[in-house]
Chain A
Amino acid sequence: MNKAGQLVLSFSLNDDYYAINFDHVSEVIEKKLIVPFPMSKDPAKKGIISIRGKVLPVFVPLFYPKDKPDGGDKILVLNHKQEKYAIMVDKVKKVRLEAPCRAGDTVNIQAKPTLIVNHESILGKNL
């Protein structure tokens, strides 16, 4: 994410604000049944969902504060290489940023401090 005029998807999760490069976004869907993993020692692995005959994993983003309850009423599906995975979000909005930005930066999007994230900051060691 270093081009000027960067397209991002900004999303909120429990009143925190984040944004991700729009190229990584596959789709946003309404919340649906999440089946938890039978035994996961990794709390980041929330569960699986099925979307049109495909099963996708849902992750709790690594950047998300551990002390906050996980929530979100929408599911954001992201493309990672040839595969897809999902995270929970509340509100989403497509935004064009004026200045180039990169993961870890905090930028002002619609008067909210917004943290730019990428696959690495979501998946961490699961990547």
Chain B
Amino acid sequence: MSEFHSGLRVLRSAFVAGALSMAVCVLSGKAKHETSPEAVLQVRLYDRAQVPAETLQLAMGESSRIFKMAGIKLDWNQPSVEPSEDRGLDMSAADARRTGGDREYLVIRILRTTSANVFPGALGFALPFAQSGAHVEIFYDRVLATARSRNAIPYLVLGCAMAHESGHVLLRSSDHSSGGLMQTNWNELTWHLASKGLLAFLPGEKSQMRQRVLAFQGSPKLNILVYRSSG
């Protein structure tokens, strides 16, 4: 089953069946990039699926763990009010490899149900070049279905799905790798490795994503934090 997709352009081409040549990144010791400067990516998460709180927290933790191994710290926000710039989808940018104007944060939206003809079989999709709205949408009904069919824990499936689609955004690509977290088709073995925490981004992907997050942050600056107290 094809479970991950990115961008509208690859809707068809992503459905590649067959055996996987899976490269698994086994974790050992401290990740190379866990030192200064810290790469922090702000993530705005909108849970439209009303995912059980514990499942959501654990899924966020799983995504954070995966990105931490790439030297990227995820800073999660769940705004109660959705700012206009985060609403909707910017599909016009699916094919346009635009430069500049990129948002320095990630918007993930979890939807409860999805029509069967929307990205059939996919757990979600990414719009790496979206300049407004969600970068990533996850289909929670399919997360639950996959968890059942793969005998996996729902939070693990959700966490991996968010990490995979976010990877597309940071890599600015709808392409998939032949192994690791960014592969297209996840079979039983893949999920088994994921459940053991043995699935990660490939080294080249880690480096590319980290550089991107650091570029968001720009040159080091002195932060002046301003707090406005209400009356």
- On whether the two chains bind one another, the answer is no
> Hey, which bits of chain B sit against chain A, CB under 8 A?
none
> Hey, which bits of chain A sit against chain B, CB under 8 A?
none
